[in-house]
Structure formats: C-alpha cells, structure tokens
Amino acid sequence: MNIDVESLQRLVERAVNELGEKKESVQAAVGDGVFATMDEAVKASAAAQRRLACCGMVDREHFVQVIRDTVLDPKVLEEISWDTVEETGIGCYEHKLVKNRLAAEKTPGTEDLTTWASSGDDGLTITEYCPFGVIGAITPTTNPTETVICNGIGAIAGGNTIVFSPHPRAKNVTLKLVRLLNHALAAAGAPGNLIVTVAEPSIENTNAMMKHPEVRMLVATGGPGIVKMVLSSGKKAIGAGAGNPPVVVDETANIPKAAKDIIDGCSFDNNVPCIAEKEVFAVASICDRLIACMQECGGYLLTDLEEIQRLVELTTKDNGAPKVEFVGKSAKYILGKLGVEAPSDTRVILMETDRNHHFVTEEMLMPILPVVRVKNADEAIQCALVAEHGNRHTAMIHSTNVVNMTKMAQLLETTIFVKNGPSYTGIGAGGQGYATFTIAGPTGEGLTSPKSFCRVRRCAMKEGFHIRTKSQAYFGNPPAVS
Ligand code: NAD
C-alpha cells in the first residue's frame, strides 16, 4: 500500500488524539470525585460541566435517576444513614433513613425546568432555565447526606456540576457518598466528576471554593454565619439559613391530634431539622389539656424551675449557643445527663416557661420544647412573630379557625407555613409537594429545586413561528369583503 507522508502524519495525529480522549474518559470514569485540593476539585468540575453541557435532557434525567437509584439501594441508604449518626453524633438512624429516602425520591428532576413561551405578531420568544456552570455548595452537619442528594440532583438536572464543601464533622460520610455517586454515574456513562469534593474539608477549603473564579454560583445550607459569608462573596448565592419555628395552638384545635403532631415533628431526627417545632404558644383554655396529651405521646414534663435551669446550664454555652455535644441528642440521653431517669418511650422534654425564656428564643436543635401559656390566639401569634426573629423560615398552627390561620400566615411571612400537621409536612414528608433540604428564606428561592440552580435566558425569534394568524408577509393582503 502506498501512503504519502502527509496522510501518514494525519493518521498518526488522529490515533494520538483518540488515545488522549480515551485516556481522559477512562480517568473520568475511574475518578472518585475526591480531590486533594479545592483548585483541582473545581477544575475537574468545570471540565465535567463542559461535557455535561453537550448531553441532552434525556441524559440529564438519566443521571438524576442514577443518583436516586444509588441512594435508594437499601444497603447504601442504611450505610449513609448509620454512618452519619455515628460520625456526627447527631440525630436518629431511623429518621435519617426517612430523610435520605425523601431527598432521593422527591427532589424534582428536569421536569422542574419548564419553558416559558410568548408568541404573537412579532414572532416567538422562549425563556429557558439554563446552567450556571460550576456550583459551590456548603452543607451542614445536621443534614450532610440529604443536602448532597438534594443539591446534587438539583444542580445536575439544571445542567450544572457541583463541588461540595462539607462540614468537617461530616467528612467521612460525605466523601463516601460522593465516591458512590461518582462511580455509579461513571458506570452509567455520565461524564466523570459531576459531583466532587475535597479530601480534607475545612474552613480554608470553603473559602478557597467561594473565591475560585470557576465557581459561578454558591449555595450555603447552614447557620447565619455561613449564609452571610456567601452573600458577601460577590457571586450569585443561595442562602438557606437558621430558623426557630414556633407553633401556635388555639382553642379550636383538635388537641389530641395537635399534641401528637407537635411531638412527632419536634422529635423528628432529634429536632435538628431547621423546620422542626422549637416552641409552643398555647391558648390558656386548652394549655393543660395540650400538655397532658403531649405527655401521652412521649413528652416528659419538667415542672421544677431549678431543674429547668440546670437543663439550660447543661445544654447551653456561655454565649447562649447550644453545646455541640447535646445538639441532635435524644430526649432520653439529655435527661440522663441531667440525672433524670425517664421512661423508655420519652421523645421530647417539655416544660412551661415564659416567652423570654432561653429555650424559646434560641434555636437549640434538641428535643426540648418550651410551652408558653397565652390568653388568646392573637397574643399567641404575636409571640410567635417575636420568637421567629424575622427569619421568615417555618411556622405551624393547630386551629380550625380560618381567620387565625390566615392572620398568622400573613404576619409571619414564613417560607413554610404548616396548618394542622407536623413540621415535616411542609417538606413533602406526608404532605403534598416536592422535597428539599435547602430552604432558602434569606435569598427568596424558597424550597429550592433545579430551577433555583439555573440562569434564566431568553431567546427571541423576530417574526415567524406563530401559527394563530396568517401573516401578510406570506399570504399578501386580506381578501376583499364580498
Ligand atoms: P453551621 O453554620 O455551623 O455550618 C454549616 C456549614 O458552613 C458547614 O459546612 C461549615 O463547615 C460551614 N461554615 C460555618 N462557618 C464557616 C466559616 N466561618 N467559614 C467557612 N465555612 C463555614 O451549621 P450546622 O451546625 O452544620 O447546621 C445547623 C444550622 O443550619 C442550623 O442553624 C439550621 O437551622 C441550619 N439549617 C438550615 C437549613 C435550611 O434549609 N434553611 C437546612 C439545614 C440546616
């Protein structure tokens, strides 16, 4: 066979290029998404995003399904739930199972990205939800894996890749989940490194991520400090911050049901969800009955004022913040440390306090529930407004009085408002609607979904592509009236 030098050169070049591409795709496939430095993680994420941008919507939905299926594998679900409790010392295994399953099943996928169209005499304009690029996500100790699942699905459905900066106290379980998801995605043919993180999460790494020029958007799920930081970053940011959800119970409520709902919500994952019931304002005429019903549902009532004060000192730091070693611990554990032997079915520590008590005003993230007696629903709603501190996060009411329900919703302006149910009804657990673990009150996205991770872009076509009328340009002047 005769072959000229130029053709030979072209063949060699093509072979070398193909080899290079293969090598890159193998590297991407076997990479586990965990990088030594934040710079490497972000660069890998940016390369992955360029590949994802060339995948179709069917591919994206397939990748989302891979995340769901991976997490819903019973072995994985059990392992990440168990490991989280073991590593962080926060929350309760059975409820972590529920939360991780909820995140995998009910976080919306690409169907969330609806296109808006306007057609008329001037043509057709469409508006679409488009990717930002690389998203930097900061996750809390209280929902470490749930947030990875929920933000991961949201980002990828939106066509983005995502770099996680987990809380150092949830490092191992987060790294494990990132690795599992990367392997599963690569095995399903996705570009490698859609979801990445760093081997040693730290405040320095979080800062490096926030400043990295290739990170186009930030999402922080955590306390007020980190939300403030991302909002001062100069980048587009979603801030999902703290809450202190109040519950109002008025004289028209179904009291036994209200009591059960409140105990169920307050004890869920040992009270760490930002949406969980943190204090109750009960109208005096039903207050005793409510407390009695809550006791029947696993509430352990403390009545001794000195004992309540000892509980404050046991669980609270000098600066008023909750002591980390008690965050997300069970009621029985906390009572044990107080020297109180409680029945084995104890779920919540109850006490009556005044409205200015520390347990009312502070987000403790423990199953400790102060009940404040007030004269009527209006006073309860006013107290709830003060206790919520303007977070505009979550609030609950138990009532059959439409006026009271409406007044409270209008006054508190919370992102989530639950009527006659446990708090978790508001994130789709036993309630209508999709799930999220990033509730963005401060920046207004509300219950985040893939849309929240997207840029809105418009594409306008001048003339044509509308079919309701006949254009003179195509059909000439209208026929004369006969
Ligand atoms: P946290 O604020 O201590 O930490 C959250 C994340 O921010 C962690 O990854 C942490 O490492 C990082 N971080 C904190 N300070 C930082 C700093 N100075 N520099 C760099 N990174 C920093 O919160 P947490 O204890 O992990 O989580 C509990 C808090 O999060 C509660 O206040 C809860 O209400 C809130 N939360 C809100 C939502 C929501 O959707 N709104 C969801 C879950 C938790």
User: Are 237 and 444 within 8 A, CB to CB?
Assistant: no
Residue 287 pLDDT > 80, yes or no? yes
Residue 22 token pair: 């293969």
- Per-residue DSSP letter, 377: H
- Give the pair of three-digit tokens for residue 141: 């100790």
Question: How far, in Å, from the CA of 332 to the mean position of ligand 1?
Answer: 26
Mean pLDDT across 302-315 = 97
**Mutational pocket test of ligand 1: of 88, 138, 174, 424, the residue with most ligand atoms within 8 Å of the beta carbon:** 138
What is the DSSP secondary structure assignment for residue 350, as one 8-state letter? Answer: E
Instruction: Determine the pLDDT at residue 1.
Output: 46
Which atom of ligand 1 is the closest one to the Cα of 243? 34
Ligand 1 pocket test target in 38, 142, 146, 175 with most atoms within 8 Å of CB: 142
Ligand 1 atom nearest to 139, measured from its CA: 9
Query: Which residue's CA is the closest to the ligand 1 atom numbered 13?
Result: 226
Residue nearest to atom 8 of ligand 1 (CA): 167
Q: What is the pLDDT of residue 76?
A: 98
pLDDT band at 9 (very low <50, low <70, confident <90, very high): low
Q: Please give the mean pLDDT across all residues of the chain.
A: 94
Predicted pLDDT at 474:
87
Three-state secondary-structure class, residue 175 = helix
The answer to whether 248 and 379 have CB atoms below 8 angstroms apart is no
Centre of ligand 1 from the C-alpha of residue 278, in Å: 18
* Rounded-to-integer distance, Cα 210 and Cα 235, Å: 8
Give the pLDDT confidence of 52-80 residue by residue, as tens digits: 999 999 999 999 999 999 999 999 999 99
Band (pLDDT 50/70/90 cuts) for residue 14 is low
3-state secondary structure of 316: strand
Local confidence band at 469 (pLDDT 50, 70, 90 cut-offs): confident
Residue 286 has pLDDT above 70, yes or no: yes
Over residues 396-417, the pLDDT tens digits come to 999 999 999 999 999 999 999 9
Instruction: Give the pLDDT of residue 23.
Output: 42
465 CB-near residues (< 8 Å, 6+ apart): 119, 123, 124
DSSP H helices in 202-328: 203-211, 224-231, 255-267, 284-296, 305-315
Give the position, in ligand 1's atom list, of the atom nearest the Cα of 240.
Answer: 41
Q: Which residue in 92, 150, 266, 274 is the catalytic one? A: 274
Ligand 1 centre distance from Cα of residue 89 (Å): 16
Domains along the chain?
27-241+449-456 (3.40.605.10), 246-431 (3.40.309.10)
- The pLDDT confidence band at residue 471, using thresholds 50, 70 and 90, is confident
Structure tokens at 396: 């609950």
Q: What is the DSSP letter of 378?
A: H
Supply 246's token pair. 């109040």
Q: In this structure, are residues 191 and 48 in contact, taking their beta carbons and an 8 Å threshold?
A: yes
The CB density around residue 402, as the number of other CB atoms within 10 Å, is 10
- 454 catalytic? Reply is no
Confidence of residue 427 (pLDDT cuts 50, 70, 90): very high
Strands (E), 96-157: 116-120, 123-131, 134-138
Query: pLDDT > 90: what percent of the chain?
Result: 90
16 has a pLDDT exceeding 50? no
Cα maximum dimension of the chain: 102
Q: Is the pTM of this model over 0.95?
A: no
Which protein residues touch ligand 1 with a CB less than 6 Å away? 138-143, 166-167, 203, 206, 221-223, 225-226, 229, 240-243, 274, 363, 437-439
What mean pLDDT comes out for the span 257-262?
98
Is the distance from CB of 315 to CB of 326 less than 8 angstroms?
Answer: yes
Tokens coding 220:
């922080």
Q: What is the pLDDT of residues 354-373, one digit of tens each?
A: 999 999 999 999 999 999 99
CA distance 18 to 408: 64
Q: What is the pLDDT of residues 317-363, one digit of tens each?
A: 999 999 999 999 999 999 999 999 999 999 999 999 999 999 999 99
| Structure-model confidence comparison of residues 420 and 30, the more confident one | 420
Looking at residue 358, its pLDDT comes to: 97
pLDDT (0 to 100) of residue 479: 86
What confidence score (pLDDT) does residue 219 get? Answer: 98
| Residue closest by Cα to atom 9 of ligand 1 | 167
